[in-house]
Structure 1
Amino acid sequence: MKMIKPAILGTLMVPALMFTAGTANAEENTTTMEATYLTETPAGTFHTDALTGNRVKSSVEDDEDIGTITDLVIDEDGQINAVVVGVGGFLGIGEKNVAIEWDSLELTKDEQGEDYVITVNASEDALEAAEEYSRDEDEDKEKGE
């Protein structure tokens, strides 16, 4: 009779252990996703450095340069929401940042088809009068958080 108890206990334990191992393995598979890799830039895409550092032109002032793109605001889905444009000042001194919504910009290629020409339907005065854009993390640093 003593041999039957361990045999019954062992018989009951094997399915329980298999279930536990299967559950752990299933959880592991759902949280680990294999990376995919690119070897070339996909058609219809560009790198951020194609925008940052570029001059923004005004479509209302005969394509006059009105600022320089200093940063991009990208959401968690990877979509560009806005570009941050440095306006005013001289050689970066006295310049302020203004965020322009992505949909407000027009991107075209230059005559050689290599670089983007970025235009916005606003004047330099309008950008200088716009409210300054500040990053949340910059405000947190100022508050000491």
Structure 2
Amino acid sequence: MKMIKPAILGTLVAPAFILAAGMASAEETTETMEATYLTTTPENTFHADALTGNQVQSTVEDDQDIGTITDLVINEDGQVTAVVVGVGGFLGMGEKSVAIEWDSLELTKEEDGEGYVISVNASEDALKDAEEYTRD
């Protein structure tokens, strides 16, 4: 009978230690995942709305507007990988979406410093002929 009591005590104490260790581990994880906050826009960054709705200009066709940025493609690391440009059509009707890789774009600050001029080394016809981007 004396052998049974230590065995029962051991089976009750072991889970208590495991539970306590798991709770301590969870507390550590929670502390390391605390949110950080910004109060101003960091230098050399911009907001998505500084791009969406803006015209993309062609460096091939004397800075002619060739499409409008409608969306951004962002990877899981938070990096912009492409912009989606609406090309062709009239007042949004018949417009086709083309995704242009981020590295293909050239961003230049506007003279007033408020926005960006967005250029790509492609013509409007090249974008119209490009394969349409389909959002999954």
Q: TM-score range by the shorter chain?
A: 0.7 to 0.9
Instruction: Give the structure 2 partner of residue 23 of structure 1.
Output: 22
Partner of 2:62: helix, strand, or coil? coil
Aligned length: 134
Q: Percent identity?
A: 68
For structure 2, the 5+ residue unaligned runs are none
**Deviation (angstroms), 1:11:** 7.7
For structure 1, the 5+ residue unaligned runs are 137-145
Instruction: Give the structure 1 partner of residue 64 of structure 2.
Output: 64
How far apart are the structure 2 equivalents of 1:43 and 1:106? 18
Instruction: Give the structure 2 partner of residue 128 of structure 1.
Output: 128
How far apart are the structure 2 equivalents of 1:62 and 1:17? 74
**Deviation (angstroms), 1:10:** 9.4
| One-letter identity of the residue aligned with 1:88 | G
| One-letter identity of the residue aligned with 2:28 | N
Partner of 1:118: helix, strand, or coil? strand
Taking structure 1 as the reference length, what is the TM-score of the superposition?
0.81
Pairs within 5 Å for 1:1-145: 17-30=16-29, 33-136=33-136
How far apart are the structure 1 equivalents of 2:125 and 2:8? 82
